[in-house]
Amino acid sequence: MAYRREKWKEYGSTLFQIILSFALLTSVHGSCGPLPKLLYAAPMSLEMANKTNFSDGEQVRYICRPGYSRNSSRVTLTCRDNSWYPTTPFCVKKRCHHPGELNNGKVFIKTDLEFGSKIEFSCLDGYNLIGSSTSTCEIFETGVTWSDPIPQCEIIVCPPPPHISNGKHSNREDEIYSFGSSVTYRCNPSFSLIGEASISCTVVDGTIGTWSPQPPVCKKVICKQPEFPNGKLTSGLGPLYTYRDTVMLECNRGYLINGSNMIHCGADNQWIPDIPTCEINACTKQPVIANADLEPYYRFENVFPVGTVLTFTCKNGYKATPDTPLTATCQKDFSWQMKGGFCERICCPSPVINNGKILQFINDCKYVPMRRIKIQCEGYQQESICQQDGTWKPEITSCDSKRISDCNSPKTIANGNFTINEGYFDVSVNYFCNDGYVLIGKSTNICRFSKWANPFPHCQALCPKPKVSNGKLFSEKFQYLSGEKVNIQCSPGYHLLGSQNITCSENRSWIPEVPKCEWEFSEGCEKVSVGYKLMQCLPNSQDVKLALEIEKLSLEIELLKQAIGKNKMNSKQESSSQSCTHKIEKDPQTYPYY
Q: In terms of CATH, what superfamily is 105-155? A: Complement Module, domain 1 (2.10.70.10)
Sequence-distant (6+) residues with CB within 8 A of 347 are 365, 366, 367, 368, 386, 390
The pLDDT value given to residue 340: 85
Sequence-distant (6+) residues with CB within 8 A of 573 are 593, 594
Local confidence band at 584 (pLDDT 50, 70, 90 cut-offs): very low
Candidates 89, 34, 94, 44; CA nearest to 67 is: 94
For 457-503, write each residue's pLDDT tens digit.
999 999 998 988 898 888 888 888 988 999 999 988 888 899 989 99
Go through the chain and tell me how many residues it has: 594
When computed from its CA atoms, the radius of gyration of the chain, rounded to whole angstroms, is: 53
Distance of CA 420 to the CA centre of its chain: 51
Distance of CA 327 to the CA centre of its chain: 36
Phi, psi of 456 (to 5 degrees): -75, 145
d(CA 419, CA 441): 16
- At the top level of CATH, which class does the domain 223-280 belong to? mainly beta
The pLDDT value given to residue 523: 61
Q: What percent of the chain has pLDDT over 70?
A: 81
Tell me the HSE value of 343 on the side-chain side, using a 13 A CA sphere: 17
CATH numeric code, 2-93:
2.10.70.10
d(CA 291, CA 299): 15
The pTM (predicted TM-score) of the whole model is 0.36
User: Was domain 157-219 assigned CATH 3.40.50.300?
Assistant: no
d(CA 128, CA 178): 12
User: What is residue 390's three-state secondary structure?
Assistant: coil
Lowest model confidence (mean pLDDT) among 94-98, 223-227, 234-238: 234-238
d(CA 268, CA 282): 36
Sequence-distant (6+) residues with CB within 8 A of 443 are 430, 431, 432, 457
Sequence-distant (6+) residues with CB within 8 A of 160 are 173, 175, 177
In eight-state DSSP terms, residue 225 is: P
Q: Please report the DSSP string for 89-155 in residue order.
A: -SEEE-BPPP----TTEEEEESS-SBTT-EEEEEEPTTEEEES-SEEEEEEETTEEEESS---EEEE
For 322-380, write each residue's pLDDT tens digit.
888 899 999 988 899 999 888 888 888 777 777 777 776 554 566 777 777 777 766 55
The pLDDT value given to residue 590: 34
The pLDDT value given to residue 583: 40
The pLDDT value given to residue 542: 62
Taking all residues of the chain, what is their mean pLDDT, rounded to a whole number? 81
For 36-86, write each residue's pLDDT tens digit.
999 889 998 888 888 989 999 999 999 999 999 888 878 899 999 999 998
